[in-house]
Amino acid sequence: MKKSYYLFNPGRLSRKDNTIKFQPLDKDGNELPPKYLPVEGIEEFYTFGSLDANSALYNFLGKHDIPVHFFDYYENYSGSFMPKDFLLSGKMIMSQVRMHLDKKERMIIARKFIEGAAFNMLKNLKYYNNRGKDLEPLIALVEQYQQRIPEMNETDELMGIEGNIRMTYYEAFNLIIDTFQMGSRTKQPPQNEVNALISFGNMICYSQCLRAIHQTQLNPTISYLHSPGERRYSLALDIAEIFKPIMVDRVIFRVLNKKEIQEKHFDINLNRCLLNDTGKKIFIQAFEDRLNETVKHRTLKRDVSYKYLIRLECYKLSKHILKMEEYKPFKMWW
């Protein structure tokens, strides 16, 4: 089974016959023992430190369909090396563009994304409400906002409703989490521990959605909820809205309430709070556990992983765009 590899140390990535060699460096620039990774077992790389590599290495990764995602020192997503889009289809691209330019069709898809996100956020709130957290007032308020989603006819209005839902949802974090207070949502940079985890987790979720899109015929630059940008894969932002409550927030609740991540796992400076390397490793392991966890799929009638659920979402969206089947966003049923 293929694995994702997370590179925290600076170092050099190179080809060694039919394996990938990673030569890590310590903080003083001294070489540490190298690691050899069979190329057949690599799903993707996430790099958080300075990486030295050449075109020969990227050609090799491209042939084996292995992307590399880059994050800067402040945990912000910088970009990705994506192998050649061998699945891209002219018919799909034209259909995506037509549906984006058709305001009515675009809004149908955009509303679906927010419906899925709101449903999954409510699922989290109801889960913890049933476990002794007093979340009824917040649940009622989110449900009020949720009922207004079908009325929205502009993406700006829809994003406003989504912002109100998420702001209300984040108020519940102070009740769900036992050890830390979130306060208000802050990013770029996050200013406390909970915000640091949200920002870091959202970036990892975004990368997972980008990878899933790349494994279908969808073009990641043509989106429906978020405005397409010149330097971002905005469709991944759309799909990530559905999965952040399931993939990111549930992991945050777990690692904090089980005290797997504590104050010592953060670097706190003036107006900035970031996970240190140890904290990142703990969070990523919990996130990987979540990705590999399986559930019984109601339609397929078999166990599928959360990671595969993201790819299924892309397939469903593809069918809607090609007018083969109405798109229904993923909603937790358990």
Alpha-carbon gap, residue 296 to 292, rounded angstroms: 13
Closest-CA residue to 34 (of 66, 59, 9): 9
Predicted TM-score (pTM) of the model is: 0.92
Q: What is the pLDDT of residues 244-262, one digit of tens each?
A: 999 999 999 999 999 999 9
State the pLDDT at residue 230.
Answer: 56
Q: How far is CA 73 from CA 5, 189, 230, 236, 289, in A?
A: 18, 11, 23, 22, 25
**Helix (H) and strand (E) counts in the chain:** 11, 12
Least confident of 8-17, 87-96, 273-282: 87-96
Alpha-carbon gap, residue 215 to 92, rounded angstroms: 14
Alpha-carbon gap, residue 76 to 295, rounded angstroms: 31
Q: Which string of DSSP letters, residue by residue, matches 20-34? A: EEEEEB-TTSPBPPP
Band (pLDDT 50/70/90 cuts) for residue 76 is confident
Say how many Å lie between the first and final Cα of the chain, rounded: 27
Q: Quick one: which H or E segment has residue 254?
A: helix 250-257
Phi, psi values for residue 112, rounded to 5°? -60, -40
Residue 41 is classified by DSSP as G
Closest-CA residue to 77 (of 184, 204, 171): 204
